[in-house]
Amino acid sequence: MKEPTRDPSFIDEVKRRLDSTDYPINLTKLERRIAAYLSANPNALAVDNSAVIAKRAHVSPMTVTRFFKKIGFDSAADARDLAKRRFYDGSPEAVGARFESFRRTPGRQDQHTQFVHAMESMRQASEMRTQPMWQHIVKAVARADSVYAAGFQTMRYLANGLVQRLNYIRPNAYELDGVDGTYAQLLTNPIGSKVLIVIDTFRYGRNGPLLARAAQAQGAEVVVFCDDLCDWASDITPYVVALPMEPDLFLWPSTALHFSLNLLVQDVIDELGDTVTLHLKQLSKAQDTFGHYTK
């Protein structure tokens, strides 16, 4: 489908099509309900599929499909692709327009909607845990001689937290912050098996794919935790944990990624078994020696 002239947001594009005098569109009562729902929830299609929108608009999924076809899309999926591109557009003009749209959106502080989206993102993280890919990731992180984590942009705090927690249950977990400009800690280490965990979201740090490819060339297993728009990770590794972000806050929360990394640590504990107990005993002795704790 040829994309129409760029507009600040997806919902503006929908309104443009509905208001077109060249090709008047007559909506049914149920289709008007969908249009009203999208107007009140302009970011819904960027994060929800047709079934979720149908449920919230109290129509059938088929009605949602007919609605988008009627206004000129090939399918509901085609409409969702455009909604995602518009919503996640990182150009300064688009970010500014999104901020103004966010400020004007009625009910943007709807706590129930925020809660629902956060719960849905965590549900998807839990479902990811049941996949064979996840079991491979857990075993790799548990058994590798060393584990490295690199978080890009605002995701650095997740990499730092992951490494700190891994060091409580296994040795040789390191954060790669790239300050040395070379990621030498990983790339010059010739000893043993290695796992690299990359954590990033839109607009994606330039060094993420470069580091992943360089680590892979050195024989490291590469795992990527990212949002569900990431278009580079699957070209490098089959071990991609892609999860949705929540659009209800201007700075998109990383609830799903945070939760998924917590699950990873827990599953690695289960995989390691009794060795975790021995590791914790050694840590406890070190804590008593250096006295950083009051209790």
CATH 1.10.10.10 in the chain: give the residue spans. Answer: 10-108
Give the sign of the dihedral formed by CA 132, CA 169, CA 225, CA 8: positive
65: nearest Cα among 20, 40, 30: 30
CA distances from 5 to 86, 92, 234 (A): 12, 18, 30
Predicted local distance difference test score (pLDDT) of residue 295: 67
Token readout for 92 is: 């300064």
d(CA 13, CA 32): 16
pLDDT by position in tens, the chain (length 295)? 434 334 445 667 777 777 765 656 788 989 988 888 887 776 677 767 888 888 888 899 999 999 989 988 888 888 888 777 666 655 544 555 555 656 666 555 567 777 887 888 899 999 999 999 999 999 999 999 999 999 999 899 999 999 999 999 999 999 999 988 899 999 998 889 999 999 998 778 899 999 999 999 999 999 999 987 788 999 999 999 999 877 666 666 689 999 999 999 999 999 999 999 999 888 888 877 887 666 6
CA distances from 38 to 9, 53, 97, 269 (A): 12, 9, 18, 43
Predicted local distance difference test score (pLDDT) of residue 22: 61
Q: What is the CA radius of gyration of the chain?
A: 23
d(CA 276, CA 274): 5
Predicted local distance difference test score (pLDDT) of residue 175: 97
Which residue type, as a one-letter code, is found at position 269?
I
Q: Which fold has domain 10-108?
A: Arc Repressor Mutant, subunit A (1.10.10)
Residue located via tokens 């990770």: 233
First to last CA, the chain: 64
Asked if 225 contacts 260 with a C-beta cutoff of 8 angstroms, the reply is yes
CATH 3.40.50.10490 in the chain: give the residue spans. Answer: 120-290
Virtual torsion, Cα 111, 116, 121, 126, nearest 10 deg? 130
Q: Using CB atoms within 10 A of its CB, is residue 76 exposed (0-12), middle (13-18) or buried (19+)?
A: buried
CATH code of domain 120-290: 3.40.50.10490
Predicted local distance difference test score (pLDDT) of residue 18: 73
Predicted local distance difference test score (pLDDT) of residue 268: 98
